[in-house]
A and B are shown apart, each in its own frame.
Chain A
């Protein structure tokens, strides 16, 4: 292994790469980072395909993550090999073609001749111009003249580090960072000299301009690549973060697809964390210790066998969602969440109501999400009547509520001054393990106007304000934890 001992530069490279993967939503723990280091040390950097396969095995843990990995690996490690000699040659070719167009005798000029003459031009000009002389001896111009892509790349890397290019997040920052990079590399000297030469109309102007253009192009490309690397993942994450914190009612229509994805991811995460299957054994395994101990009384004869048992515990979730006009903006997301939850948790029954209530579990199970939500709204939308709806609910599900049932109520408790049927809510409260009320209105508005929230509160184990996705996630997470 020693032959491939990792240089610290390569190590930091790898760490940067892992940072990049993380920004693209691949979860990588420190332990896996160490694994990746070991992998790189074992395989070496010489064969890229091999390194890619090896790192993929250590870092990407699902096919989806592997796809992201492949994408990022290509981008990240290609950049290390960026080279401007091709650009340079093309330019030389172009120059050659231009000359070819200007006169037939130029066709025989070999490829390198354009460069050659450029250097000569510059040198002759420099003999009479001390500024130009000084400029030509700077490392930057040396690199450009010698076509030393490795050195130039290194210089760009240093400049990038000094201006903090890895912080780039927005495309609007690209110009600014390009400028700063150029300054850090000492382009201002080149620029000043050029400005002066322009006034003098010097013959050295043309070749010098070309060097400046090459430099600018290189730096621009470099910044562009960095932006693509860094910002792509970050932007998506930033967006997600923003959406999670926005009030559900304020979310714009055009973000709905994104939210849908977010909600589904959230529901899946919650379900993964909580959906541990309970196993039921009719008879568990033999508990030898207990059996022996019992046998002592019978002079060591094992008369009674003792069996270890696993307790049955099947949590059940009933979710009731208000879809009336007053909460229409929320209802869509709550239904979406319900839908996702039912998708991932085995024992969820969903109900929807406004003027009357019905079970929508079947609808959710049978239709794709958009269609299901549309159907629910169409069937149960209208003016709110909590009393009637609770009666319906009692008829449908009250018998099924027992000490392992959790009931979640999603609604604003605005009952249009009708009969709240508190006694039904009470009996639900008494029978169930837990009643949770999630109200999209802020706590201060509870009880104002036609809100019956304070009265219903007496029949809830837990009530909370819930109007953005982060709150929703936190509450449901807690709820499921308690539900174990």
Chain B
């Protein structure tokens, strides 16, 4: 992918503005990382707590560039047959049947075994060829004409073996298929890997990537995010709810509320026509923010201290 084809990524400012036009408000750090990934043709490994917009970053980049987003969700047991390529067994079987019928014609008049074998060799070997290859996400990303965004989601959930499979793709943008050879990417795709840190990613993989850690956003940034997603909400209330979510994140919770939950909450408050945060409103909508019963109990017992002070006091 070259700069002249994608002026959207020509500078860091352009990226920030472009993202914003798609409703993705990002810090300069994120824009810098995307810019570098594009310029240096390196994958980005995005880490951070769940729900800070790691996957969203890849989606937005795809929208910004107007190229296909090819997504590979990782899970335990993911192997090359599901990630890279698979042979079309059914068609291969049919092919052998067809071949058997044609065999008589082909070998007609052949003298002895030696000549038959020679004729067989002259016959093209298509059993293992691209025609019978079923591309899976990784291979598909290499075959796109205009380039693509390849999102390898939650790479920490995959096995170690799968990580080593990725190494070749991430450093050389090529795939080795033993029966055929190496397949080089037509246009280098932009690769995003995301990780929730459930286990450590191997050094070899990390070394090939730029590293981007997205923490929970600052109050100011999160307010801007809420503004872009829920534009109708009152300014005062927006500030209050973001402040409240931030104080929740300081508690010992099983799962801290993420940005997506802040947005959901803002939407719910809007639907309920809430004008100010008070104990009752919070208690009735806390289940939008927190997903564990224990967390809700913890938050409720701490509610008194967390409640925003009245604006005039």
Known: A38-B40, A279-B76. A31 touches B207 (CB 8 A): yes
Q: Does B306 contact A (CB under 8 A)?
A: no
Chain B, Cβ-Cβ closest to A302 = B93
A53 to B213, CA, bound (A): 11
Q: Which residues of the other chain, A, contact B40 by a CB distance below 8 angstroms? A: 35, 38-39, 42
B213 contacts A63, C-beta separation under 8 Å: yes
Of A50, A60, A281, which one neighbours B211 at CB under 8 angstroms?
A60
Of A35, A61, A277, A288, which one neighbours B92 at CB under 8 angstroms?
A288
A49 to B36, CA, bound (A): 14
B89 contacts A57, C-beta separation under 8 Å: no
Q: Does A285 contact B (CB under 8 A)?
A: yes
Q: How many Å from the CB of A97 to the closest CB on chain B?
A: 42
A285 to B200, CA, bound (A): 28
A145 to B235, CA, bound (A): 57
0/1 per residue, A254-288, Cβ < 8 Å to B? 00000000000000000010001101010001101
**Segment of B25-33, B54-62, B63-71, B184-192 engaged in the interface with chain A:** B25-33
Q: Which residues of the other chain, B, contact A286 by a CB distance below 8 angstroms? A: 89
A and B contact pairs by CB, cutoff 8 A, 7 listed: A29-B207, A42-B36, A57-B29, A58-B210, A61-B45, A288-B89, A288-B92
A56 to B213, CA, bound (A): 10
B window 71-93: CB within 8 A of A:
76-77, 79, 81, 87, 89, 92-93
0/1 per residue, B191-214, Cβ < 8 Å to A? 000000000100100110011110
Q: Does B52 contact A (CB under 8 A)?
A: no
Chain B, Cβ-Cβ closest to A29 = B207
Known: A42-B36, A57-B36. A32 touches B207 (CB 8 A): yes
Q: Does B42 contact A (CB under 8 A)?
A: yes
A60 to B39, CA, bound (A): 19
Q: Which residues of the other chain, B, contact A61 by a CB distance below 8 angstroms? A: 45, 203, 206-207, 211
A54 to B100, CA, bound (A): 60
Known: A27-B203, A60-B211. A50 touches B12 (CB 8 A): yes
Q: Which residues of the other chain, A, contact B36 by a CB distance below 8 angstroms? A: 39, 42-43, 54, 57-58
Chain B, Cβ-Cβ closest to A291 = B89
Q: Which residues of the other chain, A, contact B264 by a CB distance below 8 angstroms? A: none
0/1 per residue, A40-75, Cβ < 8 Å to B? 001100000110011011101111001000000000
Q: Does A457 contact B (CB under 8 A)?
A: no
Of A39, A42, A60, A277, which one neighbours B160 at CB under 8 angstroms?
A277
Q: Does B159 contact A (CB under 8 A)?
A: yes
Residues of B within 8 A of A (CB): 12, 28-29, 32-33, 35-36, 39-40, 42, 44-45, 47, 76-77, 79, 81, 87, 89, 92-93, 96-97, 100, 159-161, 200, 203, 206-207, 210-213, 215
A57 contacts B32, C-beta separation under 8 Å: yes
Among A1, A63, A281, the most chain B Cβ lie within 10 Å of the Cβ of A63
Q: Which residues of the other chain, B, contact A6 by a CB distance below 8 angstroms? A: none
Chain B, Cβ-Cβ closest to A50 = B32
Q: Does A292 contact B (CB under 8 A)?
A: yes
Chain A, Cβ-Cβ closest to B127 = A292
A57 contacts B210, C-beta separation under 8 Å: yes
Q: Which residues of the other chain, A, contact B100 by a CB distance below 8 angstroms? A: 300
B28 contacts A49, C-beta separation under 8 Å: yes
Q: How many Å from the CB of A479 to the closest CB on chain B?
A: 20
Q: Which residues of the other chain, B, contact A53 by a CB distance below 8 angstroms? A: 28-29, 32-33
Q: Which residues of the other chain, A, contact B213 by a CB distance below 8 angstroms? A: 62-63, 66
A53 to B12, CA, bound (A): 12
A8 to B28, CA, bound (A): 28
Task: Beyond A53-B28, A288-B89, list 5 extra A-B contacts (CB 8 Å).
Answer: A62-B211, A63-B47, A279-B159, A285-B79, A300-B97
A61 to B76, CA, bound (A): 23
Q: Which residues of the other chain, A, contact B35 by a CB distance below 8 angstroms? A: 42
Q: Which residues of the other chain, B, contact A60 by a CB distance below 8 angstroms? A: 211
A54 to B15, CA, bound (A): 15
Q: How many Å from the CB of A268 to the closest CB on chain B?
A: 8
Query: 3 tightest A-B contacts by CB?
Result: A53-B32, A57-B210, A53-B29
Q: How many Å from the CB of A74 to the closest CB on chain B?
A: 16
Of A39, A50, A272, which one neighbours B200 at CB under 8 angstroms?
A272
Q: Which residues of the other chain, A, contact B32 by a CB distance below 8 angstroms? A: 43, 50, 53-54, 57
Q: How many Å from the CB of A309 to the closest CB on chain B?
A: 13
B96 contacts A300, C-beta separation under 8 Å: yes
A50 to B32, CA, bound (A): 7
Q: How many Å from the CB of B242 to the closest CB on chain A?
A: 23
0/1 per residue, A182-212, Cβ < 8 Å to B? 0000000000000000000000000000000
Q: Which residues of the other chain, A, contact B47 by a CB distance below 8 angstroms? A: 62-63
A60 to B207, CA, bound (A): 10
